[in-house]
Structure 1
Amino acid sequence: MRTKLYCSVAFAALMIPAGAMAQSTGTVEAEEGEIVVTGSRGPVTIDGIQIPETPKARAVLTQELIERRAPGQTILDTINLIPGVSFTNSDAYGGSGGQIRIRGFDGNRIALTFDGIPLNDSGNYAIYSNQQLDPELIEQVNVNFGSADVDSPTAAASGGTVNYRSLIPTDELHAAAVYSRGTNDMNRAFVMLNTGQFTSFGTKAWLSASTQKYDQFRGPGTIYKQQYNGKIYQPIGNNGDFVAIAAHYNQNRSYFYSNPTFANIRTRVAGAGATIPTTGSAANPYTLDLSNNEYDYVFDDTSSTYRYDYACDLQSQPGGTGSQTDRNSCNNIYTTAFNPSNTGNVRLNSRFEVTDKLLFTLDGAFSFTRANGGGSALLAETDASATSANGTYAQQYAQTSGRLGAGIAPGVDINGDGDRSDFVRVYFPSNTRTRRYTAIAGLRYQINDDHLVRIAYTWDSARHRQTGEASLLTNEGRPQSPFSSLDDGTTPVLDAAGNVFQKRNRLSYAILHQVSAEYRGGFFDDTFKVALGVRAPFFRRNLNNYCYTIAGQSSDAYCTSQTAAQVAAFDTANNSVSLGAPYTRRIKTYNAVLPNVGFTFNATPAISMFGSYSKGLSLPRTDNLYGFDDVSISPVSAVDPEKTDSFDLGLRYTNRLIQAQVAGWYVRFKNRIISSQTLLDGNQTINVDRNVGDVKSHGVDASLAIKPVRWLSLYGFGSYTIARLQEDATDPLTGRVLVPTAGKFVVETPKWQYGGRAQLNLNPVSVGVQAKRTGDRWVTDVNDLKAAGYTLVDLDARLDLGFAGLDRTFLQLNVSNLLKERYFGNLSTVSNAFPYTQGTVTTNAGGPRLTFGAPRTFIGSIHFEF
């Protein structure tokens, strides 16, 4: 029986096509056709790690490794084992999100796809790591460095792509259940049913559900997540044709961690007798590297400076005559530092062989999102109080700038106490609702055994509705609905005209039409292969802003029921602000021709060389286009799309025992866009984009996987990255130099990363240990502050209970951060941490925030199958 098992695994490894590492069904089939028709070697797997024979630099992890990680963990944490990838998790379970970078490119510049459909936010292109598919359902995940496939439906792939694919249903009836219990009162349950073939046509399907709940490791707040998935697979004939329809729904209810600013840390460690300087510069940068005692002293501070309050008493709620104020009430409560999201999709993948040479593929999807990032604001009931002696415009804006009166009354009695003399704190999130349709159609023609061509058409259309309704809080400062007054039955804040008071009200359509073509050929008995492709995307942004544009501010707007004349009078009275009139059908278009070429050369059956060139593109973020109106508010120069020229050249050595790859790469990044961020009341922010010219990056990625004996596998990886800005950042409104970024290293990007994994398989026990060193990372654009590097060690151990008569049942223990490393994970980067003078202008410190890394965490699981 055991001999049969090993033979089956080996045969499966031989037959897995390279196409399994691609995104769309069309790309899968193009690469699979190349493998199957020409008879080339399929990829080898060493305990879940693959190095595929492709022209592009690419890495793959399969379910064999994914299932060893902590149950419920985001798939982006798993790919942290791939060289060049840096992912920082907000907690040990993945439900609070995190930040990813690949070769110095952040998540907004990395395309993420799920069964070929795009997952990046259509407004800001962000990746939300806590909304991904349950790891038990992922067949494999792959990373393309610096390039996208020719039919990729993405507006942001200058940094590469991350693609994962869901499992195909099994032929036999099969069920699985997993229960996990962990540190911080974590409970997770996962169930899955494979129906097996249940019709005479071979129809098969699976259904799954999961739920997870745990407390935050620091401060108040609970993370709750539930997810439901299903897939039905219909084979057509016996030549590989099929139609697959799948559905996914994910619901998150999570709270943000309260993390200290650099200034907070400086103040706190002073109490422990340590000193952090108050001055610094790019010439004399400071590395934040706390000792264990200093770190613990900051971590253990329970004051409201370092943590959100668990409870509060809203001062405006009791009512009664006289002035009441929530200015210092409930402004730090954890219940409004809230991040609810409902996301889902329905996906179609299909393949049809028209003739023995012509193949048609069609992928499609409908996806939706409803989410916000929480937040509260202080509203002045009287218009005069909102604009008098409040200093900056940011303060005036946060307290409504006279908008509640709607130009027809002196204000509004928000809390219903019979007067208009109060300052009332309200729930004030930025709601986003997205409906998105995607289709990818492709034709592949097999010219002969060695050559094929294909063409594809890609369409992607997202309706992106963004509002910001205000609603009343309870006596304890809690929201009455996760999505404020977006839903019926809540208590909206109305202005004097009876309209819901909002911070923004806009509608965007992000539309892509793309045509692409590719040729793949093999020469000299398939020792030399080439891939020549080109994609031509045509992007359109249809922008509608039903509020007044605030110059340079894209997160908020001046929403009001006042007349245009009244708004103009306010605009004139406030010299620090410029408002643009509401508009509809403002159109922005972006087009490009993006070639990519690559080759592989097999010098011997085990040794090969590969190389590729690709041009990438990332558009200005749709959301940030609302910082201007191109009529009364225009930038000195328009924010241009980012473009990259990426080159890779490398060597591979692969056989059944060893997989090794080393690649050198160079990326020229043109028109890099950076965004300034300013904090408003209630943890809200405003952003503005600007180009900072070129970024030049280069580096080396290397990995080695060895299986010297059947019961042991070893894997090591490392990456070296240099990424520097070439020009200073300027104010898009005036052209003045804002930040001296020329020559500075890109933030959040470690120069060095390295690590490895060892796995010992001694039936019935198997143990895996992995470690990764993440080097120092810059926190500021001017490079005056960096966060010290850190090393994380994780353990996974499994006991197979087959010896006790419980077939397909095992116990698993996962320990993350085994050695209790103290470190800062996510970084809230800003322009500078210390004051500096640029010309005649002195810029104050920006106050970056640093996220505490999750402490050591234990998770025990029991896994049943039948």
Structure 2
Amino acid sequence: MTFTTKKVLLGATSLLVLATTAQAQEASTSADTENMDFEEIIVSAQKTTFANNATDTTMLDQEPDAASVLSVIDNLPGIFVSEGGALGSDDWSTTLSIRGFTVSLSEQQVGMTIDGLPNGNSNYGGGAKANRYIDSENLYRAEVSQGTADIASPSHEALGGTINFVTSAPYEEQRFWAGLSIGENNSQRYFFRYDTGEIAPGTRAYLSYSNQSTDAWIGDAGGATRDHFAAKIVSEQDEWTFTGRLSWDDTHENNFQRISLAQFEEDPDWDRLTDTITGIPYVDQVYRPAWGTLRENWFAYVKAEYKGEDFDFSVSPYYHDNEGRGDWIPPYMIAVAGGDEQANGTIFGGPAAGSYVYTDSNGTPLAPIDGCTATLSFPYGGGAPANNPACYEAGARPNSSYRHTHYGKQRFGVTADAAYRLGDMNTIRAGIWWENSDRNEYRDWHRVIDPTVGIEFDDIAYWRQYDRSFETDTLMVYAEDTVELDDLTLRGGLKKFFVDLTRTDNFGNEAEQGLESDSDILFTAGAIYNVTDNLEFFAGFSQNFAAIKDGVIEGRASETNPNVPDLEGETADNYDVGIRFGNNWLRATVTGYYVKFNNRITFVSAGDPVGGIDYLEEGEGTYLNVGGIESKGIEASISADFAEHWNIYSSLTLNNSEYTETTAEVVEGNKVALAPEFQLVGTLSYYNEGVRAGVSAKHVGERYGDFANTQELPSFTLVDAWIGYTVDENVIPGIQTIDVSLNVSNLTNKNYLGGGTPGSYFIGSDRQVIANLTVKF
């Protein structure tokens, strides 16, 4: 669908009319509010100077207990979430978009926090999205700040805003609960949680554990398993609140693959990965069980909060350990030249001198028969004759590798925030965020023992290709002043990042490289005007910042040209203006926004006229600040209790995101690849005496999928439905409640393309039916 001014005006007019009679209730993050049962949550937006929306109980009910916590935000305005794996079971294929900014395999432009603490970026290689930290039963709500987020948000990739996932507090009464979910594709999940009740004056805690497994929804092989543990303790002592939380997550996921638009049109149910071993390495490189994501995450924090008459203070140190691996099965063995051979036979470093596929019975590499031109047709259009067993004499043995890319990260940091009230009108706030992050990445190659029967590999690698470490030191400081003048609240602040990045080659073959990624002083400003008790207008401005990623000195830039030029961190100027209005039965918000993304870091090759580089030789390249994006649009939502026990919710997104500079594959004026321009959500829900039910539909308009805007992805509408019933306590002796529910996602089994990277896309999951049972003692 082409984005036009007419559509913007029509959408804005219709929702502004509704907004004049509704205002979102203010969300509270107090411990008392967090301790409410989930059924009591009624939150849609906070009273802030910027666009902000939060999940409500209907959005939590819409998703099954086994779903990823990322899925609950998809109905909020401005948000597009696509998870290729059923129940969010594949991080590789998960993408998220806000106002033309994305989290995907190629971009990390939206910040994520857990209880206000940084997630350590969302990159596939060493990052961790929110689903690695939280089970759905332990999620209190998710808060989305689209664009001009709170000044204290600790993230240096939040160009497009921040999503804060808030975990629930322990119950005040002792409680044990167990949950079971069963669904299609052999999906099953067990969940257990024990709330201690008050174990000391003002102190309560919980422990929880879940185990989940599911088969791949495409084909007959592969799947995912996940184990998750969490513990949280809260102690309220006079003006002080102390909180501690620990989570552990261990997962093994087989991936889904990106396909082209033409492949989707040919067969929309297959991502071109296979289910069986053929014994031909070139074909078996797309065997799904060999495409793997293995991740283990530990995350812990403690928080001390003081709330006095005139002074508030909080401090929170945290620690995160991430360890993992990405797997693939290349259809060849590497012949390594040089390097440091270890006693166990592993060669460390050294260049690849070539590759081979077939050997004789003695392990000597073979060349294809002279004159043989036969090729295979699958996959990737077929390989050279050297990949075809028909081009070898009888008895030739196939060879392939199992390639592991190992990721590791240890983060330690602290946030601190203080606010002092000067009389009744003025509040001064200041704070810091400091973090040290040490990320290691290395890649090794293992010999597949017998490619004709399976993918089992030799535990000892024959080659460690590279081994690099990246240390990032971050310091963010900020100060803000808020002035309340009767019905008018004004806010202004300053923020600055100091970021140092160092790269070390652990083989000792390359010199250490470093980059300084300090920001300029970043400004924020905002205002809220209360027209009546029910109606308010707000406006906000912020300069968001993304530090230079370690990928700039990880791969091609350092290898093709060691003289990485001076770079600046990426910035985005965000402007929000909107209206909120509400009463006891109707809540709504409408926001207009404009975002200018500057200094986009882009890889530029020799000969690219935009870069204006004269020191690059043919085949070389480097990173430069030569990109940009401009986004503008409208986001709106409305929630109405239009009859007893009934609620209707709708959200609208109209977005126009365009590239502002021409470079490499990007053309100035083209639409941003994979950024939805039109989204519309409608939800009807029912609650009455333990019964809940609902149906929700989301329409996503046509999008351009590639930089050149030659591939227009088809629009689609997804329908979800759910029904549940909670049996009141004391019906069965010893049992407080029994809850049963049924969730159906993609009810009409729609074929559609979700997220991906420019020019290649993930197929969206088909219909999933999940039954849930929860018993609380």
Tell me the TM-score normalised to structure 2 length: 0.81
Deviation, 1:358, is 2.7
SS in structure 2 opposite 1:136? helix
Alpha-carbon deviations, 1:669-690, whole Å to 9, x = none?
A: 112235699xxxxxxxx99855
Alpha-carbon deviations, 1:256-287, whole Å to 9, x = none?
A: 12453345456xx3xxxxxxxxxxxxxxxxxx
**Which residue of the other structure, out of 584, 591, 602, is the alignment partner of 2:530?**
602
Contact 2:142-2:166 within 8 A present in 1 as well? yes
SS in structure 2 opposite 1:591? coil
C-alpha distance in 2 between matches for 1:416 and 1:206? 61
Q: Which residue of 2 aligns with 1:780?
A: 706
SS in structure 2 opposite 1:100? strand
CA pair 17-312 structure 1, distance change in 2 beyond 3 A = same
**Which residue of the other structure, out of 608, 611, 629, is the alignment partner of 2:539?**
611
Q: Which residue of 1 aligns with 2:728?
A: 802
Q: Which residue of 2 aligns with 1:511?
A: 473
Q: Which residue of 1 aligns with 2:83?
A: 89
Q: Which amino acid aligns with 1:252?
A: T
CA pair 132-664 structure 1, distance change in 2 beyond 3 A = same
1:850 aligns with 2:761: yes
Q: Which residue of 1 aligns with 2:395?
A: none
Q: Which residue of 2 aligns with 1:545?
A: 505
Greater RCO between the two (CA within 8 Å, min separation 6)? 2
C-alpha distance in 2 between matches for 1:154 and 1:536? 12
C-alpha distance in 1 between matches for 2:186 and 2:583? 45
Aligned residues, how many?
686
C-alpha distance in 2 between matches for 1:185 and 1:778? 35
1:308 aligns with 2:274: yes
Deviation, 1:143, is 0.5
Contact 2:334-2:353 within 8 A present in 1 as well? no
SS in structure 2 opposite 1:650? strand
Deviates more, 1:631-640 or 1:660-669: 631-640
CA pair 507-706 structure 1, distance change in 2 beyond 3 A = same
Alpha-carbon deviations, 1:92-144, whole Å to 9, x = none?
A: 31111311000110021100000122114387796646424111101111001
C-alpha distance in 2 between matches for 1:433 and 1:687? 28
Q: Which amino acid aligns with 2:710?
A: D
Deviation, 1:711, is 0.5
**Which residue of the other structure, out of 30, 52, 73, is the alignment partner of 2:46?**
52
SS in structure 1 opposite 2:498? strand
1:341 aligns with 2:295: yes
Contact 1:49-1:705 within 8 A present in 2 as well? no
Q: Which amino acid aligns with 1:70?
A: P
SS in structure 2 opposite 1:177? strand
Matches within 5 A, 1:294-693: 298-299=267-268, 306-313=272-279, 328=282, 330-353=284-307, 356-380=309-333, 419-421=363-365, 424-475=399-450, 491-494=459-462, 501-524=463-486, 527-546=487-506, 582-627=510-555, 633-634=561-562, 638-674=566-602, 691-693=625-627
Contact 1:158-1:643 within 8 A present in 2 as well? yes
1:714 aligns with 2:642: no
Q: Which residue of 2 aligns with 1:211?
A: 211
1:759 aligns with 2:685: yes
Contact 2:541-2:576 within 8 A present in 1 as well? yes
CA pair 406-506 structure 1, distance change in 2 beyond 3 A = closer
CA pair 534-821 structure 1, distance change in 2 beyond 3 A = same
Deviates more, 1:327-336 or 1:720-729: 327-336
Contact 2:348-2:465 within 8 A present in 1 as well? no
C-alpha distance in 1 between matches for 2:550 and 2:352? 35
Q: Which residue of 1 aligns with 2:149?
A: 148
Contact 2:51-2:576 within 8 A present in 1 as well? yes
SS in structure 1 opposite 2:503? strand
Contact 1:112-1:119 within 8 A present in 2 as well? yes
Q: Which amino acid aligns with 1:96?
A: D
**CA RMSD of the aligned region, Å?**
3.4
CA pair 464-406 structure 1, distance change in 2 beyond 3 A = closer
Contact 2:556-2:622 within 8 A present in 1 as well? no
C-alpha distance in 1 between matches for 2:122 and 2:724? 41
Deviation, 1:536, is 1.1
Contact 1:115-1:163 within 8 A present in 2 as well? yes
CA pair 48-768 structure 1, distance change in 2 beyond 3 A = farther
Q: Which amino acid aligns with 1:308?
A: T
Q: Which residue of 2 aligns with 1:813?
A: 742
SS in structure 2 opposite 1:172? coil
Deviation, 1:469, is 1.7
Q: Which residue of 2 aligns with 1:559?
A: none
CA pair 411-15 structure 1, distance change in 2 beyond 3 A = closer
SS in structure 2 opposite 1:814? strand
Q: Which residue of 1 aligns with 2:388?
A: none
SS in structure 1 opposite 2:74? helix
Deviation, 1:695, is 1.6
CA pair 493-411 structure 1, distance change in 2 beyond 3 A = farther
C-alpha distance in 1 between matches for 2:678 and 2:353? 61
Deviation, 1:431, is 0.8
Deviation, 1:540, is 0.7
C-alpha distance in 2 between matches for 1:229 and 1:150? 29
1:746 aligns with 2:747: no
Q: Which residue of 2 aligns with 1:79?
A: 73
SS in structure 2 opposite 1:610? strand
Q: Which amino acid aligns with 1:150?
A: I
CA pair 776-642 structure 1, distance change in 2 beyond 3 A = same
Contact 2:24-2:44 within 8 A present in 1 as well? no
Matches within 5 A, 1:34-183: 48-62=42-56, 65-97=59-91, 98-107=94-103, 108-121=108-121, 128=129, 130-183=131-184
CA pair 453-347 structure 1, distance change in 2 beyond 3 A = same
CA pair 649-795 structure 1, distance change in 2 beyond 3 A = same
CA pair 159-416 structure 1, distance change in 2 beyond 3 A = farther
Contact 1:46-1:713 within 8 A present in 2 as well? no
Contact 2:61-2:722 within 8 A present in 1 as well? no
Deviation, 1:754, is 0.7
C-alpha distance in 1 between matches for 2:355 and 2:513? 33
Deviation, 1:68, is 4.1
C-alpha distance in 1 between matches for 2:112 and 2:526? 22
C-alpha distance in 1 between matches for 2:53 and 2:256? 32
Deviation, 1:225, is 1.0
SS in structure 1 opposite 2:728? helix
Alpha-carbon deviations, 1:170-193, whole Å to 9, x = none?
A: 221012211111111111111111
Q: Specify every segment of 5 or more residues in structure 2 that has no aligned partner in the other structure, as ranges.
A: 1-22, 34-38, 339-345, 367-397, 606-619
CA pair 371-676 structure 1, distance change in 2 beyond 3 A = farther
CA pair 186-122 structure 1, distance change in 2 beyond 3 A = closer
Contact 1:455-1:517 within 8 A present in 2 as well? yes
SS in structure 1 opposite 2:70? helix
Contact 1:798-1:811 within 8 A present in 2 as well? yes
CA pair 755-383 structure 1, distance change in 2 beyond 3 A = closer
SS in structure 2 opposite 1:798? strand
CA pair 130-96 structure 1, distance change in 2 beyond 3 A = farther
Tell me the TM-score normalised to structure 1 length: 0.73
SS in structure 1 opposite 2:675? coil
Deviation, 1:513, is 0.9
Deviation, 1:791, is 0.4
Deviation, 1:215, is 0.9
Q: Specify every segment of 5 or more residues in structure 1 that has no aligned partner in the other structure, as ranges.
A: 1-13, 21-27, 36-44, 270-297, 314-325, 387-401, 482-489, 495-500, 549-580, 678-685, 730-737, 830-847
Q: Which amino acid aligns with 2:314?
A: T
| Percent identity between the two aligned chains | 20
Contact 1:117-1:364 within 8 A present in 2 as well? no
C-alpha distance in 2 between matches for 1:16 and 1:202? 28
